[in-house]
């Protein structure tokens, strides 16, 4: 376990992504994955109010609903750390006071809980003053409905501005950031944003940690993968991506582990990263991720991976 920033919240070093719950995994399949994750000692689950509104016939909240039912059925809410998000549900867009208040109440109801452990602003909202957004989030913290707040998809300048607003007004401050970051997608986070997080003691929880499945190794030249993410993952099938896979293949073979665990183990030890986020549709897929928690790559292995993905 590791501690989230200065919150005292203890988290497992692999965050389970809940985007598949109610989408590619139905309720029974989701329960099986959640049970396996909890049995392995996992306690940190990431979802959002908008999951999975993109599915025909869905309205959003499906993932939170399944997660809430699972915790109620297992009686384990007190052992879980639940992160969810506000601002990107089609019917509750943006980060105004009214939207945040309505969205939080909706999430609390679906999750069957009285408190969200980590509440993210899902997307930056430049149409709403940061003071309004942070004031609304701060009110939820003061009311005990949220333990800590975080930002997703913020640029370094906007994150810095938000931190300054919180400091000036005595509001709760963002303690974590959720960016797009993985072994083959590095420039968006590394540099200005990572440096800011290091200075301010902000934890990074990367999404797309496995590059939409590419870093599991199942996408190779001449192969066809039946997955909703195959188009996105296939964009990495180039000379650089194949070079990264070659290094990963060698390390995974030498360590007798999975490619996914190698990718996640590299990400887990990058500066400011608290835990990578990865999802699994089945317990078998989860089993490919879990070794990353204890896999300690050598300095030489880390350097080879970093060089191949530069």
Residues that are catalytic: 51
Say how far apart CA 105 and CA 218 lie, in whole Å: 40
Stretch (H or E) spanning 233: helix 230-234
Q: Is the Cβ–Cβ distance between 227 and 233 less than 8 Å?
A: yes
The beta strands (E) that lie in 107-253 are given as: 116-121, 146-152, 174-178, 203-204
Pairing of strands 92-93, 88-89: antiparallel
Say how far apart CA 55 and CA 242 lie, in whole Å: 32
- Cβ neighbourhood burial of 98 (10 Å; 0-12, 13-18, 19+): exposed
As a residue count, the chain comes to 310
DSSP classification of residue 144: T
Q: What share of the chain is helix, strand, coil (3-state, %, to 5)?
A: 45, 15, 40
Query: Residue 37: how many CB atoms within 10 A of its CB?
Result: 23
Q: Mind giving me the DSSP string for 16-37?
A: EE-TTBTTTB-HHHHHHHHHHH
- Cα distances (angstroms) measured from residue 96 to each of 107, 124, 145, 163, 190: 16, 11, 17, 18, 30
Task: Name the token pair of 129.
Answer: 């003053």
């Amino acid at each position: 376990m590791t501690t989230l920033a200065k919150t005292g919240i203890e988290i497992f070093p692999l965050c389970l992504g809940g985007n598949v719950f109610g989408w590619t995994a139905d309720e029974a399949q989701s329960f099986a994955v959640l049970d396996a994750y909890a049995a392995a000692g996992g306690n940190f689950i990431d979802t959002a109010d908008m999951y999975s509104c993109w599915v025909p016939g869905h309205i959003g909240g499906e993932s939170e609903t399944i997660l809430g039912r699972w915790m109620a059925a297992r009686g384990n809410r007190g052992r879980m750390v639940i992160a969810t998000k506000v601002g990107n549900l089609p019917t509750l867009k943006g980060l105004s006071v009214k939207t945040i208040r309505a969205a939080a109440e909706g999430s609390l109801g679906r999750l069957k809980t009285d408190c969200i452990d980590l509440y993210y602003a899902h997307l930056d909202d430049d149409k709403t003053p940061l003071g309004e957004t942070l004031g609304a989030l701060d009110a939820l913290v003061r009311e005990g409905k949220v333990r800590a707040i975080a930002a997703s998809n913020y640029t370094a300048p906007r994150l810095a501005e938000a931190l300054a607003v919180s400091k000036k007004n005595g509001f709760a401050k963002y303690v974590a950031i959720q960016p797009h970051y993985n072994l083959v997608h590095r420039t968006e986070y590394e540099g200005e944003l990572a440096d800011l997080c290091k200075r301010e003691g902000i934890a990074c929880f990367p999404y797309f940690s496995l590059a939409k499945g590419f870093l599991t190794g199942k996408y190779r030249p001449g192969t066809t993968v039946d997955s909703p993410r195959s188009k996105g993952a296939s964009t990495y099938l180039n000379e650089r991506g194949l070079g990264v896979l070659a290094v990963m293949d060698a390390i995974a073979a030498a360590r007798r582990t999975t490619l996914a665990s190698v990718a996640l183990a590299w990400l887990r030890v990058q500066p400011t990263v608290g835990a990578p986020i990865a999802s699994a549709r089945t317990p078998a897929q989860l089993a490919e991720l879990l070794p990353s928690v204890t896999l300690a790559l050598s300095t030489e292995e880390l350097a080879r991976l970093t060089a191949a993905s530069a």
